[in-house]
A and B are shown apart, each in its own frame.
Chain A
Amino acid sequence: MRRALRWLMAACVAIATTSAALAADLRPLVQTMGSGGYSGTEKALNQLSDAGDPAAVPVIEALQAGDLYVRKADGLVVIARKVGAGYALTDPLSGAALGEAAAGAIDRIKVNNAMRRAISAALGALTLMSPDPAVRRSAADAVFKSRDANALDALNTALAKEKDERIRRAMEQARAAVILTAGASDADTQAAVATLAGRGDRDALALLSMIAASGASDTAKTAAAAAVATVEQKLMFWGALQNLWYGLSLGSVLLLAAIGLAVTFGVMGVINMAHGEMVMIGAYTTFLVQQGLRTYAPGLTDLSVLLALPAAFLVSGGVGVIIERSVIRWLYGRPLETLLATWGLSLVLQQAVRSLFGPTNREVSAPSWMSGAFELGGLTITYGRLWIVVFAFAVFAALLVALKRTWFGLSIRAVTQNRPMANAMGIRTARVDALTFGLGSGIAGLAGVALSQIDNVSPNLGQSYIIDSFMVVVFGGVGNLWGTLVGALALGSLNKFLEPYAGAVLGKILVLIFIILFIQRRPRGLFALKGRAVEA
């Protein structure tokens, strides 16, 4: 958006300096954009972009942003931006103010997908010479995608002037794509093939295989075929790495979901069926925090997920402590009863959330630093997943430190290992129990914050993770945090490696069968607790 504004200003300056005659030529074209529905607008848009005049850029950008309107009174095409209850109108070409209008007095010019494509292509061709390097870069990418033969001249001019090495490369690739699509001399084609082989991604592969199969000369074809083979090999290698990344990312989601359970179930022995609901409460807390920030501090919305972390930990942890104090504490030594009671609690919590927030999904939007993706070699890594992986490991490390290096952790271990002795040593076991359950629930709440970024925020959220969580904890070995870590990553990777071959459903079935068979080999999970306590 900021970029668009900057461009708008630059364009305004440009309009002021360029001859008024050019702008006058565009005016009838701009005017036709307002008529003829989608196809009429699209036709005018194409003519506007063919004119090749940068003065058209603000018009096209306004169209893209949905700010281009038709004034009902006289059919004039204007740019309108919301001001209070009405709209402030400006002339699309000159930028001159045209007064205000009520919402009912203007009609928005609608945009559909075909037009969005045309807009990208047009902006690409028209902004290749922009002073902003980022704009030039995206312009080059847009031309690469559109392969618009009309952009060739602009590309050549831009290439001659371009200093930035990376943008030059992008422009050369775009030029190669245009050349290959439009057809050119043998030498040119081969040079283009070489450029694209250097790019080496799926888009390049598509173009190259097109050439390899097309009516180009034999030498060009052979070159293209060779390039296809290298690119394919490269892609296969990256594909395997990509799969590993998917496995890691699914594994860390499983880890997050299971790690709280590793405390309440693994350490305390409570068969906590309400664990999923703690995750859900964490997700709803994120929703509330985000809503609150949107209303009271819109500037901080991007930080809502961060702010939600302590909130979710406290809310879920608090609910956990309440549950422990009111229900679980009567049930120590009777773990089966905890299954029954926590199942009941999970029903109540689900329905409570449903009554409070309604049964439908709630929107938790991703902060800008968690949206989008970046390329790492041939890998596509989405920021959201990357942060979740980092977060999962951070939570794991923090929990490990808390259990192994703090007084509280020492108390937890003492109480779970020998309750009467811990009591005799002056540890307030009741308080430790409550805090431990609170800790496990709080961590589940943290998982909820992360899951709100990739899954539904609905009353059913917890249900979809509870079974997987139990599988992970049991597979890794109850009572062993490292087991949970390894278990989650192993099951996640296994699932992702099976998926391409067996499909999502069969893959999951195979993972379950693997767990069943694995438990036969190691009846106490991956990292079994040793000693007499196990047999009791």
Chain B
Amino acid sequence: MLTRFFLMGLDRKAGLVLTVLALLAVLVPVMTLIVPEGSPWHVSIFTVSLLGKYLCFALLALALDLVWGYVGILSLGHAAFFALGGYAMGMYLMRQIGPRGVYGNPILPDFMVFLNWKELPWYWLGFDHFWFAAIMVLVVPGALAFAFGWFAFRSRVTGVYLSIITQALTFALLLAFFRNDMGFGGNNGLTDFKEILGYDIQAPGTRVGLFLATIAALALSYMIASGIIASKLGKVLVAVRDTESRVRFLGYNTESYKLFAWTLSACMAGVAGALYVPQVGIINPSEFAPASSIEAVIWVAVGGRGTLAGAILGAVLVNFGKSYFTGALPEFWLFALGGLFVLVTLFLPKGLLGLWAQLTARLPNAKGPNAKGKNAPNGNTADQKGM
């Protein structure tokens, strides 16, 4: 049953994505840990962490694409789920510091010590266990998304109204986490982590391990997402995207379908955040900033909305561009990045993967114009009003 579910989503494109991920999973560790430094084939630990970060963003983009590309919910607050997952992991990592903090307090993190907190707030309890944190990584974003979606979908909040209240949600969380009284370290957030599951977080082996975990999470999420899309459930979701009222009139309870996809997507985003934190070494409220959510939307759009591979491609590509340009063109990189967004929108309306589809469609043996990006939104129906 489960195998069939996964196999169902495995078309040619999915095969390619998984192959690339598998290749990365084999090559990168070898090139990092075995190939000696100095060899042109050596990959530095810095690069591994960087790739890991890109893949975390790719997972976030994948989660976003699932709800935006296939259900038509444009979330301008997905970074909130990402950050919540990140905070859950960050809290575990903080507890692992133990007495090695600057004040040497075995229980309280440093920021609590200098704010004169005497004991750990209740919501920090349990985070000294990895299993608890791991559950929370899924539960906290999932529960928030469930509650939020439960109300919003039932009230039939749609389109731009839904987008803006997701933005309000992430903005409210941003302000809340900024508050030092909240007990999450305020603006400084959580940082200076020492070890994860007993392994030194800075050791090359751990970094490669985290990288592999990210690949595994991404591959698994990809299989789940493409499995869902290929299933009957997926067909209903796409139908909801295109005309929700018609699906409702056909007797489907569209709210439940949307709620399922929405909650699942939030959990995926939470996992992405949890993997992101140990690799970049800090989680702070700026991850909640509405701009980060909008950026995630842009990754998906650049790669190609409504194509899972496109979301991954877009996230990796845009973030690579950001890393590269901020080093190479520190004064002008915003021109390059901003210009890229404008050009992609104007000339590649279906994103990079759309271009791929267009190119293949032009080949003589292609299936004809209608075949291009069969899952890509039609634009005229779903996008007519709002999002």
Mark A residues whose CB is within 8 Å of B. Answer: 269, 271, 273, 327, 330-331, 333-341, 343-348, 350-352, 355, 463, 467, 470-471, 474, 478, 505-506, 508-509, 512-513, 515-516, 519-521, 523-525, 533-536
Contacts and interface: CB of A to CB of B under 8 A. Distances in A.
Interface string B312-343: 00000000000000000001101101111110
Nearest to A523: B157
B341 A341 contact: yes
Contact of B161 (A334, A345, A525): A525
Interface string B231-258: 0000000000000010000000000000
Most chain-B Cβ atoms within 10 A of its Cβ — which of A344, A348, A515? A344
Given A337-B301, A351-B332, A516 B168 contact: yes
B342 A335 contact: no
B338 A519 contact: no
B155 A521 contact: yes
B331 A355 contact: yes
A478 B164 CA distance: 11
B380 interface: yes
Nearest to A274: B338
B158 A348 contact: no
B165 A524 contact: no
Contacts, number: 136
Contact of A478 (B152, B160, B344): B160
Contacts of B340: 344
A503 to B, nearest CB: 9
B387 interface: yes
A229 to B, nearest CB: 35
Given A271-B160, A467-B171, A508-B175, A519 B341 contact: no
A505 B379 CA distance: 40
**Which applies to chain B's interface (DSSP): helix, strand, loop or mixed?**
helix
A485 B386 CA distance: 21
A42 B379 CA distance: 76
B75 interface: no
The 10 A-B residue pairs with the shortest CB-CB distance in the complex, in nearest-first order: A344-B341, A347-B338, A348-B338, A351-B334, A512-B172, A341-B345, A474-B164, A344-B338, A344-B342, A523-B157
Contacts of B309: none
B383 A336 contact: yes
Given A344-B339, A536-B385, A523 B158 contact: yes
Given A346-B338, A516-B168, A523-B161, A336 B301 contact: yes
Contacts of A506: 179
A334 B349 contact: yes
A271 B297 CA distance: 13
A535 B339 contact: no
27 contacts: A333-B384, A336-B301, A337-B349, A340-B301, A340-B341, A341-B341, A341-B342, A343-B294, A344-B340, A344-B345, A347-B335, A347-B337, A347-B341, A348-B338, A348-B339, A467-B167, A467-B290, A474-B165, A478-B160, A505-B175, A508-B175, A509-B172, A509-B175, A512-B169, A523-B156, A523-B158, A525-B161
